[in-house]
């Protein structure tokens, strides 16, 4: 195509179509088959997109909890759990963060009606410890009333990595320990200050 073939029309407007006429033409031709505007009987249920195997537990090679000090830290997390403010989910979690000099700081989840402002037990314990002047931590215990281990969520893992490094994470329920992990096993490729240049 030569430059003369690409000249704009004499009225100064381009020959290119605007987005408005494409949308108008699309709405006049064929309706969307399975969009949000489709009748309920035509919408996909989502069952074909969901693979139940994805919800199965993934083995991360948990180390058994065998140390008496781990059991004491789990007991502190269990005690902190009793103060949880979980009025909406009723999912009470307790955490106990241990400093290098053996001080244990407890935390519990604190929910909010907006849900987005909810604080996890691990973050509460970490913020309490940091605000009290502690800066070196060795391990954290997390307790919930579940059969399976309940590890820290993604944001908690990120903050624990930032301020605690590769600490031990001891998980438990109301019956006792359920697992022990290094944070690096739960957060294998963390974003941290090393990536900021």
DSSP string of 10-40?
A: TTS--SSPPHHHHHHHHHHH---SSSTTS-G
What's residue 163's pLDDT? 96
3-state secondary structure of 173: strand
Q: What is the pLDDT of residues 81-130, one digit of tens each?
A: 999 999 999 999 999 999 999 999 999 999 999 989 999 999 999 999 99
**What is the residue extent of each domain of the chain?**
68-184
Rg (CA), the chain: 27
**What is the per-residue pLDDT for 77?**
98
Q: Which helix (H) or strand (E) holds 67?
A: none
* Packed helices 121-131 and 154-164: angle between N→C axes, nearest 10 degrees: 30
Residues near 123 by Cβ (< 8 Å), separated by ≥ 6?
107, 155, 156, 159
The answer to whether 87 touches 118, Cβ cutoff 8 Å, is: no
The share of the chain scoring above pLDDT 90, in percent, equals 61
Question: The domain 68-184: what is its CATH number?
Answer: 3.40.140.10
* Gap between the Cα atoms of 99 and 101, Å rounded: 5
Query: Which DSSP helix (H) or strand (E) runs through 103?
Result: none
Q: Is the per-residue pLDDT at 167 higher than 70?
A: yes
Distance, CA of 157 to CA of 72 (rounded, Å): 22
What is residue 62's predicted lDDT score, i.e. its pLDDT? 56
pLDDT in tens, 88-102: 999 999 999 999 999
Q: Scanning the structure block, which residue is given the tokens 């998980």?
A: 171
Report pLDDT for 65.
Answer: 58
Residue 66 confidence (pLDDT): 61
Helix (H, G, I), strand (E, B) or coil at 96: strand
Residues taking part in catalysis: 122
Q: Grade residue 180 by pLDDT with cuts at 50, 70 and 90.
A: very high
**Quick check: 2 pLDDT over 90?**
no
pLDDT digits (tens, 9 = 90+) for 40-73: 555 444 444 444 444 444 445 555 556 788 999 9
Q: Distance from first CA to last CA of the chain, Å, rounded?
A: 48
């Amino acid at each position: 195509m030569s430059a003369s073939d690409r000249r704009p029309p004499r009225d100064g407007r381009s020959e290119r179509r605007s987005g408005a006429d494409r949308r108008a033409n699309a709405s006049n031709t064929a309706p969307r088959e399975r969009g949000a505007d489709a009748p309920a009987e035509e919408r996909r249920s989502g069952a074909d997109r969901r693979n139940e195997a994805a919800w199965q537990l993934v083995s991360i090679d948990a180390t058994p909890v065998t140390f008496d000090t781990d059991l004491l830290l789990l007991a502190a997390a269990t005690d902190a759990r009793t103060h949880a403010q979980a009025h909406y989910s009723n999912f009470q979690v307790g955490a106990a963060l241990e400093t290098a000099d053996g001080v244990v700081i407890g935390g519990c989840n604190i929910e909010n009606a907006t849900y987005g402002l909810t604080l996890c037990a691990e973050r509460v314990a970490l913020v309490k410890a940091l605000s009290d002047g502690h800066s070196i931590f060795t391990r954290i215990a997390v307790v919930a009333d579940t059969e399976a281990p309940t590890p820290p969520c993604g944001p908690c893992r990120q903050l624990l990595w930032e301020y605690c490094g590769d600490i031990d994470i001891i998980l438990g329920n109301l019956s006792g320990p359920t697992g022990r992990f290094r944070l690096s096993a739960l957060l294998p490729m963390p974003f941290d200050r090393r990536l900021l240049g």
